[in-house]
Amino acid sequence: MKKVLLVLSTSGTGQEVIDYAVGRARKEGAGLIALYILETGLANGVFDTFTDVGFIGDKPSQDLSEAIMKEYRQRGYEELGRVQVKAMEEAVDFEPLMEDGGYVEKTLEAIEGRGVLAAVLVKRREKMFLKYFSISHADEVKAQARCEVVIFTEREG
């Protein structure tokens, strides 16, 4: 079965993105995979900041890191739940996925491993000068993926 991949944003995916992905899957007669990637790097970064700069011991730093990861995981379940509800309403076959790791690596893995025909991604709005110096994860996926990649830009506030 053909698949459409929706990669969810950690700071909340807009309803229009979910509507588009579900609508696209229905139009193509495909199943929908919703992927939520846990940004372990962020929690690790906070852990390092606390131990290296804050000089607090391993236990409070570890507890803090775990609290952050627990919250991200919870948010992931909520986001996946939102997509599932929409997919059920539209009678689209749905598969939720939650992965630990890098955004680009995990998205490409899902695209390659699951025969995805189109991937729907969200990227943050960037300043012009930042665009010049760096490439967003979503654009990086688009450059490397062997399928159609649709990118939405996250609204501010």
Partner 1 sequence: MSVEIDTRPIWVLLALRALKPLFYIVLAAVFLYLVAMPAPAGLSAAGQRAIAIFIVCLVLWVSNMVPLAITSLFAIVLVPALGVLSKKETYALFGNEAVFFILGAFILAGAIMHSGLSNRIALNIMDRFGRSPRTLLLSIFLLAAFLSFIMSEHAVAAMLFPIVFDISKGLGLKPGKSNYGKLLFFALAWGCVIGGVGTFLGGARVPLAIGILKESTGKSIEFLDYAVAVFPLVIVMLLAGYFLLTRFFPSEVADVSSAHAVLSRRLKGLTKMSYNEYAVGGVLGATIFAWIFFGKAAGLAAIALSAVVCLFALRLVRWKDIEEYVNWGIILMYGGAIILGTALDKSGAAEWIVNLLIGKWADKPWMIFAIFSLLSIFLTEAMSNAAVIAILLPVGIGMAERVSISPALLTYSIAVPAGLAFMFPMSTPANAIAVSSNYITVKDMAKGGFIMCVVAWVSFNLFAAFYWPLIGMGYGK
DSSP 8-state assignment for residue 54: S
Question: At its nearest, how many Å lie between partner 1 and the CB of residue 66?
Answer: 9
Q: Look at residues 66, 82, 62, 72 and name the one whose alpha carbon lies nearest to residue 14.
A: 82
DSSP 8-state assignment for residue 125: -
Q: Look at residues 146, 140, 73 and name the one whose alpha carbon lies nearest to residue 105.
A: 140
Count, residues near partner 1 per rule CB under 8 A:
35
Question: At its nearest, how many Å lie between partner 1 and the CB of residue 119?
Answer: 17
Question: At its nearest, how many Å lie between partner 1 and the CB of residue 27?
Answer: 29
Choosing from 2, 144, 148, 153, the residue that interacts with partner 1 (CB under 8 A) is 144
Q: Which of positions 40-99 make contact with partner 1 (CB under 8 A)? A: 42-43, 45-46, 49-61, 63-64, 67-68, 71, 74-75
β-pair type (116-123, 31-38): unpaired
Q: Where are the alpha helices (DSSP H) in 90-157?
A: 103-113, 128-133, 137-144
Output 129 or 157, the one with its CB closest to partner 1: 157
Instruction: Name residue, tokens 């729907």.
Output: 120
Could you say whether residue 153 binds partner 1 (CB under 8 A)? no
Q: Give the footprint of partner 1 on this chain (CB under 8 A).
A: 10-12, 42-43, 45-46, 49-61, 63-64, 67-68, 71, 74-75, 105, 108-109, 112-113, 143-144, 157
